[in-house]
Amino acid sequence: MPRPPRRELDTRRLAAVGVVGSALDVRAHGPHRRVSMHRVNLADLGYGPFFADQIVESPDDRWPGRVVRMDGIRAHVWGATGQVAVDVPGKLRSARDGGAVVGDWVLVRTGPNPVMDRVLRRRTQLTRASAGLRAREQVIAANVDLVFLVMGLDGDFSPARLERYLATVADSGAEAVVLLTKAGQCGDVPTKLDRLAPVLGATPCHAIDVVDDIEADRPQMYASAGTTVAVLGSSGAGKSTLVNHLMGSDEMATASVRAHDCRGRHTTTHRQLLRTPSGAVLIDNPGMRELSLWIENAGLEQAFDDLAELAAACRFVDCSHLHEPGCAVRAAVERGEISRERVDRYVKLQQEVAVTSQRRSVHERRRAERLQGRMYRQAIAARRRGGAG
């Protein structure tokens, strides 16, 4: 989806909705629900006019906050007066039906038992297809500005997997930075960087090692105040070590990896939102063993922009780049300009996206039917209440 343009913050407008100046009363949230008393200017958490414009006509007993963590029927939400545990109604628990995920901005109804009222429209969202035969959209994180794609320079190294991550980020509307970890344990960093060159394009990439202090401060240059950064990568890639480095403490548990395949245990077991000492917002995610695509074709073409440009010159619009005459992609392979392996991966992902597109259509139709049914039931219930009065 296209990312909405950034605009300068209008502090007077934000003050009007209780964001600037700590205008919200701590007592209104209920003392037994208070998780943290740390007051914060919500603009520092990424709040701005894009979200404020959505709530200007909301009732006075509603306040905006950002989802820190989802725990089934309850969520931790960061409001202007600190973190609050709020109840999550059934309609907002299922992310596939527009429910809340970590990083979302939500509207909360004040009271002794605060309740999440609705999810505000997202600026960006990272998605993937859920596992299983009936794949569905799974939103990984919402309202992300930047994604750290973490990949180890050991057995975790995989250009093919990185292509999937880059396509996912391109489709989300966020920006990507590739961080190759464990550089101190790798004796051929330049060779691996050369292998990634066709995959990366213009995407920034850095070989780092926060343990051996190799380019350890490089990630901090991107994680500036007010920026929301999601951390993605496979198990054992070094995500938790990176998060601890950015947080300046052992915020996340770490574990050793298996020597024979460099796979790690899932030391991060849930998604959560953290705030670094520099003021950046981090969304840490559990390691992913696989990343099935749930993207539009535009995201794939952006990740493979070199091949997409060549494909535009093919004789046939629906060229598969396998056997058709006049294929500009195959001609580039024969000239040695691109590798056959990269083309094969591109074709494979094109086929995957085509299948996903069909599932997306079915998924969106069923979601619309569920929402329509819910609205119908609510209307019937409202009429019955009116008749009873």
* 163 and 216 belong to one structural domain: yes
Average pLDDT, stretch 342-359? Answer: 87
Q: At 154, which amino acid appears?
A: D
Q: Which of 72, 103, 119 is the last residue of a domain?
A: 119
Q: What is the pLDDT of residue 292?
A: 82
DSSP string across 75-131: EEEEETTEEEEEE--GGGT-GGGT---TT-EEEEE-SSS-EEEEEPPPS-EEEEEPS
Whether the Cβ atoms of residue 203 and residue 302 lie closer than 8 Å to each other = no
Q: How far is CA 263 from the centre of its chain?
A: 23
Query: Rounded to whole angstroms, what are the CA distances from 371 to 98, 115, 163, 360?
Result: 10, 20, 35, 16
* 107 and 64 belong to one structural domain: yes
Structure confidence at residue 206 as a pLDDT band (50, 70, 90): very high
Out of 79-93, 239-253, 350-364, which region has the weakest mean confidence (pLDDT)? 350-364
Contacting residues for 246 by C-beta, under 8 A, at least 6 apart: 219, 220, 223, 276, 278, 280, 282
290: in domain: no
Q: What is the pLDDT of residue 377?
A: 67
For the cut 90, the answer to whether the pLDDT of residue 153 exceeds it is: yes
Structure confidence at residue 77 as a pLDDT band (50, 70, 90): very high
Average pLDDT, stretch 89-99? Answer: 79
CA dist., res. 332 & res. 338, Å (int): 6
* 162 and 254 belong to one structural domain: yes
5: in domain: no
Q: Counting Cβ atoms within 10 Å, is residue 266 exposed (0-12), middle (13-18) or buried (19+)?
A: middle
Q: Which of 252, 284, 316 is the last residue of a domain?
A: 284
Q: What is the pLDDT of residue 252?
A: 55
* 31 and 85 belong to one structural domain: yes
16: in domain: yes
53: in domain: yes
* 253 and 360 belong to one structural domain: no
Q: pLDDT (tens digit, 9 = 90+) per residue, 155-200?
A: 899 999 999 999 999 999 999 999 999 999 988 999 999 999 999 9
Q: What is the pLDDT of residue 379?
A: 67
| CATH value at residue 318 | 1.10.40.50
> What's the total number of domains in the chain?
3
* 269 and 345 belong to one structural domain: no
Average pLDDT, stretch 92-116? Answer: 88
Beta bridge partners of 216: none
Q: Which of 119, 154, 178 is the last residue of a domain?
A: 119
250: in domain: yes
CA dist., res. 1 & res. 10, Å (int): 25
Q: What is the pLDDT of residue 136?
A: 78
- Which tokens sit at 238? 């070094």
- Buried (b) or exposed (e) across 158-189, using 16+ Cβ within 10 A? ebebbbbbbbbbbbbbbbbbbbbbbbbebeee
* 227 and 356 belong to one structural domain: no
127: in domain: no
| CATH value at residue 218 | 3.40.50.300
332: in domain: yes
For the cut 70, the answer to whether the pLDDT of residue 372 exceeds it is: no
* 253 and 318 belong to one structural domain: no
* 310 and 347 belong to one structural domain: yes
Q: What is the pLDDT of residue 111?
A: 87
Note down the domain range covering 190: 143-284
* 109 and 156 belong to one structural domain: no
Q: Counting Cβ atoms within 10 Å, is residue 21 exposed (0-12), middle (13-18) or buried (19+)?
A: exposed
* 113 and 17 belong to one structural domain: yes
